[in-house]
Amino acid sequence: MDQERLDTILSRYEGDAADLIPVLQDIQDQYSYLPKDELKVVAQKLNVPLTRIFSVATFYKMFSLIPKGRHQIRVCLGTTCHLRGGPRLMESFSHRLGVEPGYTTKDMQFSLETVGCLGSCAQAPVAMIDDKYFGRLATDKVPKILKLYKN
């Protein structure tokens, strides 16, 4: 546990239970996930039961209890993307990375997940890596895109 980093985050708040979600957002931003040891400290500092923290962390999709990779890949499986090849696109990313949606590669480079919508239906099927959108994707473009993000 990185106590100094966690103390810096917690010092920005009053220590009220109402600070829970913003504190979790800051921890997620710093660590790319919510480490269990840090959550125990948050429970003590905010006087919130650990079970409540886990309830919040598992309710909101923006939070993760497992470590995330350096690059976040989100493949849209909304209606339009689904009809235009989203599932095949997901299979291609999954096959090439060797992970199922919801997991991270062993080298911690990529996390793969599905989303219900990326807001770019006109560009379907769509995937997003970190903050960059890739539209009108075909499975044959996946290797070239991944190559852009590999070390």
* DSSP-derived 3-state class of residue 5: helix
Alpha-helical segments (H) within the chain: 3-10, 20-31, 36-46, 50-59, 79-83, 86-97, 142-149
Confidence grade of residue 100 (pLDDT, cut at 50, 70, 90): very high
pLDDT of 43 higher than 90: yes
Q: What is the mean pLDDT of residues 12-32?
A: 94
CA distances from 41 to 32, 33, 60, 68 (A): 17, 15, 20, 21
Q: Give the per-residue pLDDT at 12.
A: 95
What is the chain's mean pLDDT, rounded?
95
Section 49-70 average pLDDT = 93
Residue 71 phi, psi dihedral angles, 5° rounding: -120, 135
Q: How many CB atoms lie within 10 A of CB 20?
A: 18
> Which of these, 50, 19, 143, lies nearest to 92 by C-alpha position?
143
pLDDT single digits (tens) 106-118? 999 999 999 999 9
Reduce the DSSP state of residue 99 to 3 states and report it.
coil
Domains of the chain: 3-59 (1.10.10), 71-149 (3.40.30.10)
Over residues 132-145, the mean pLDDT reads 97
- Indicate whether 26 pLDDT > 80: yes
**Least confident stretch, 23-27, 41-45, 57-61:** 57-61
- Reported as a pLDDT band with limits 50, 70 and 90, residue 17 is very high
